[in-house]
Amino acid sequence: MFRWIVAALVAFAFVAPAADAQERKRLGYGLLLNNDVIDGRRDRWRTGGFQSSRIWGPAWAGTAPGGFGQLLELRLGAEIITPEDLRDVSDSDRRYAGALSVGLHTHFQRGMTEYAMGGDLVFVGPQTGLDSFQDAMHDFLSMPRPSDAVRDAQIGNAVNPTAVVEIGQNFSLGTDTTLRPFVEARAGNETLARVGLDLTFGDFGRGALLVRDNVTGQRYRAIETEWTGFSYVLGADIAHVLDSEFLPDNDPVSLDKTRERLRAGVHWRSETGLSTFFGVTYLGEEFEGQDGGQFVGSLRAKLRF
């Protein structure tokens, strides 16, 4: 079923209007990897995953087009969420969860305001195979493996349709500094409303299409532009969370209705097109009784040989 859904989304990306279908082509690709290895080399809570984007449209002229659906993004993602102790099931901690997502999104701009809207299907539970993947990887790396009890107690199989909307606007604070406040609404796998901002020092993102990672809020390039040197990014946001399939109402632990994120990162791009990004994000508590927040590292690298 998963492959059928991916095929359907890809096919839809090349459908009506007919005029756009004739001109639409692949414009870019982006990927961001996340892992909490930076936080004391412990696997816990939002422990790891990735998000990737493939962009199609008629053309790219440095800004998103004004028409809804002209620029399309096929978004794929995977995430592993674990309790603090991979070997133990506790009534005071969250349950293990694996999630795979596939979605179709569109980016457009009206005046100075940028919009990103779309939907994802989020597959949760043992059906994703992510518990087996982590078990095999940790066995290979001689790291603690999730116990049978932890895997047996994980969030069960489900498919959750999820809608996402983000609205933002860039404000220049000088020749090399940009402030971008944004609001986001998400309904489905997790239902929340978020407000935040991103601050960029340098040329990163100018004339590019940036996509926001769901877990950390870090933004990565999905359509590249020609720039060189270093750029630095800071960001913060706060969300009011109504519900989460990762923390269901019948769990022993209760969902924390407020969720904060603080992030920083550095981008570098050479004259030959080699580029890297490393970021760190602090994720606040997501459930009542959580023993503090956590730090998650993010990595992206583009190599040319």
pLDDT tens for residues 2-35?
444 444 444 444 443 433 444 789 999 999 999 9
* pLDDT band with cut points at 50, 70 and 90 for residue 174: confident
Q: What is the pLDDT of residues 36-73, one digit of tens each?
A: 988 766 789 999 999 999 999 999 999 999 999 999 99
Kindly state the average pLDDT of the residues 218-228. 92
Rounded to 5 degrees, what are φ and ψ at 5?
-65, -40
- Amino acid 37 reads V
CA atoms of 158 and 122, how far apart (whole Å): 8
Asked if the peptide bond before residue 17 counts as cis, ω within 30 degrees of 0, the response is yes
What's the N-to-C CA distance of the chain in angstroms? Answer: 37
Domain 2-302: CATH superfamily is: Outer membrane protein (2.40.128.140)
Q: How far apart are CA 109 and CA 201, in angstroms?
A: 23
pLDDT confidence of residue 222: 96
118-158 pLDDT, tens digit per residue, is 999 999 999 999 999 999 999 898 888 999 999 999 999 99
Region 288-304: what's the mean pLDDT? 89
CA distances to 52, 102, 167, 177, 178 from 203, in Å = 22, 31, 21, 8, 9
- 2's tokens: 């998963």
Are the beta carbons of 69 and 105 closer than 8 angstroms?
no
pLDDT at 10: 42
Going by their DSSP bridges, the two strands 229-244 and 45-57 should be labelled as unpaired
Block residue for tokens 């769990």? 251
The domain spans of the chain are 2-302
